[in-house]
Amino acid sequence: MGLRDGSGGFSDLLSQAAQASGYTRQQIIDSPEANIMATAALLSQWLGDRRAKPSRIEEMLPELTRMSAIDQSKRGTISAFAAESYAFDVLLAADRGEDDQGIHVPEKAIEWERAFDLPALKRQRAPFVRLDLDGDRIDTGDSVFDPVSGTLKGIEDGTKSTDYGPALWVASPYNSTRSAAISAVTIHTMEGSYAGSISWFQNNPYSVSAHYLVRSSDGQITQMVRESRAAHHVGVHNGYTVGIEHEGYVSNASWYTTAMYNASAGLTRSFCSAYAIPCTSAYNGNASSGLVLLPTSTKIKGHQHYSSQSHTDPGQYWDWRRYYNLLNPAVSVTKLLDTFETSEGHFNLSPAYSGSTTGIGTGSTSERVSSMHKNGSWSEQLMLVDNTASSANWAVRFLSGGGAPASNSALTRANGYVGFWVYSGGTGLTAALGIDDSDGTERSTAKSIPANTWTYLEWRLDDSAQWDAWVNGNGAITASSVSLDAIWFYRAQTSYTVYVYVDDVTHRTQ
């Protein structure tokens, strides 16, 4: 659970949890079960101090920020932001669920407005965050309300990282002049949380830093040292390397999520392109828990693989073969099924048309709009209106080709993926796919849709873990050629009208 032991300026939550639970500090460190139970005991103790007990996790913000271990008595604006970011990470993990490394935790839709006020949500969702350490100020630019999409939009795009566009920029004071050209990439594990590490790299007694940090839950990236400067991350090799820190702990494989691997690999590919580092020079062997010196010809490797080191990250659970394949992907063939540029394509019926749809009313509509789009100039807007005569949760089957296999494009199952871009003007939504197979219709597992940002959701057709039986199905896609039945949207019942936008429905094989 990331309980801090009091070092590095953080609060000693480890001792507090030991006292609250009856476990020893060492038991909490060594046993995942003891760690979880001790954390629960500590949270229970904190909640017991309240007069009014919270009924939902969104109402536990004071306890979640306290769990960051950032000293409450010394919190300025920036420290408060770091603690707030920790709480945001916890709620985001609950909102998105977990289905990775054999761990399955169901998604729990978070009502973000209950947890954070509007200024706090703006800070956490901002396209960029600039931290003024001297003035203890946070600048997120400004935003306006867009009446068409019902969302907040930035007045200015702002400056993220000037080196890597998708990254946020938060400066660390710990850097120095490079001694050589960039020629290698170092993979690290933080041994801590994303928010805590950002705070640590801004103020620590050892002057350590890294160029980039990657969040476990969603792959968000923050840059803290310019690539033109040397970060202090791998000792005598700082001068020619770029360092990437990954949220988590070497002893816990669950931190290494799909989102993290994908985001990190995309970042490393950008280094390969910018600095002529062959992606094929990445380590492609077994993970290990100790120091393993690799030759200088291996340009993309872990902290543990360099000479003169004492750190053993990313350790025994980092999947180097997976990372290598992400850096060196097989040739992919992509087909756009619907772009909505000239017509609604296969999605020409209202979202309430299907008899399988529940919760929304007949006033719900779908139409092409040019006011919101990810690619091109148009997208499909779904306006979802509650059925006031029903208290049912929403389950919207947005049909492709009227749900008739013959009216849809044939899709290859083997190494095939189906996905789409989606933007939600409200919180708490999830999405899934329906696929017509030879023996019926299978429905995918649901994935969360973050509010107020374009997100690409994708499912692999030949991975049975991503599919459940629906109508006459068997829970696995077995036919060599299948078709898209529908895009599903789910949400807890609400009286608010929710806008959802879909763009570029895609099938690809690799």
Domains, the chain, ranges and CATH? 7-114 (no CATH), 168-327 (3.40.80.10), 334-509 (2.60.120.260)
* pLDDT tens readout for residues 414-458: 889 999 999 998 889 999 999 998 778 899 999 999 988 899 999
At position 456, the amino acid (one-letter code) is Y
- Encoding tokens for residue 147? 């009446």
Residues 318/252, Cβ–Cβ less than 8 Å: no
Residues 337/506, Cβ–Cβ less than 8 Å: yes
Higher pLDDT, 6 or 346: 346
Residue 132's pLDDT is what? 66
490 strand-pairing partners: 395, 430
DSSP state of 386: B
Cα 435 to Cα 456: distance, rounded to the nearest angstrom: 18
When mean pLDDT is compared across 86-95, 102-111, 467-476, the lowest value belongs to 102-111
**25, exposed or middle or buried, with CB in 10 Å at 0-12, 13-18, 19+?**
middle
* pLDDT tens readout for residues 226-260: 999 999 999 999 999 999 999 999 998 889 988 89
The percent of residues above 90 in pLDDT, for the chain, comes to 59
Give the DSSP letter string of 71-85: -GGG--HHHHHHHHH
- Encoding tokens for residue 298? 């291996």
- Encoding tokens for residue 492? 């807890």
Q: What does pTM read for this prediction?
A: 0.46
The percent of residues above 70 in pLDDT, for the chain, comes to 90
When mean pLDDT is compared across 65-69, 335-339, 359-363, the lowest value belongs to 65-69
Mean pLDDT of the chain: 87
Residue 130's pLDDT is what? 64
* pLDDT tens readout for residues 354-391: 999 999 999 999 999 999 999 999 999 999 999 999 99
Average of per-residue pLDDT across 206-212: 97
Query: For residue 28, how many C-alpha atoms fall within 13 Å in the half-sphere facing its CB?
Result: 26
